[in-house]
Amino acid sequence: MAEFHKLATVDEVGPGEIKQYLVEDRFVALCNVEGELHAFEDVCTHQFTHLSEGEFTDSEVKCPLHGAKFDVKTGAAKSLPAVKPVPKHEVKVENGNVYVALNPKRVKIGGRRGRRR
């Protein structure tokens, strides 16, 4: 069974806002899309940077470094240079508090594809 960690209170992240939290040793972004809360690994899958520092509009966040866009509802990479999705974390709200269960998948940075010769 997934272990939930208390992250925030429900009113801490209002509609259209995104914030970063540290859970265990992982950066977690929590955002609010029209009252719906979504959490995901706060690390771009292209190079290391925090997506929560980028522009957040509607249900997309734009990486502050090279501009890749991610769908915060699914984690999917929507534009280059990122191609891999960011891991989503399960969110639950209880008694005015927001809890997350961390996705065991993590963003791996620096992996190189095999070179073709």
Kindly list the residues in this chain that would bind ligand FES in the complex (CB under 6 A).
44, 46-47, 49, 63, 65-66, 68, 81-82
CA 102/CA 68 separation, integer angstroms? 23
Residue whose CB is less far from ligand FES, 8 or 68: 68
Residue whose CB is less far from ligand FES, 12 or 53: 53
CB of 33 to ligand FES, least distance (A): 20
CB of 89 to ligand FES, least distance (A): 19
**Closest to 35 measured CA to CA, from 4, 73, 85, 2:** 73
CB of 58 to ligand FES, least distance (A): 19
- Give me the phi and psi of 24, to 5 degrees please: 55, -125
Give 43: exposed, middle or buried? Use CB within 10 Å, 0-12, 13-18, 19+: buried
Residue whose CB is less far from ligand FES, 66 or 73: 66
What single DSSP character describes residue 77?
B
Residue whose CB is less far from ligand FES, 28 or 42: 42
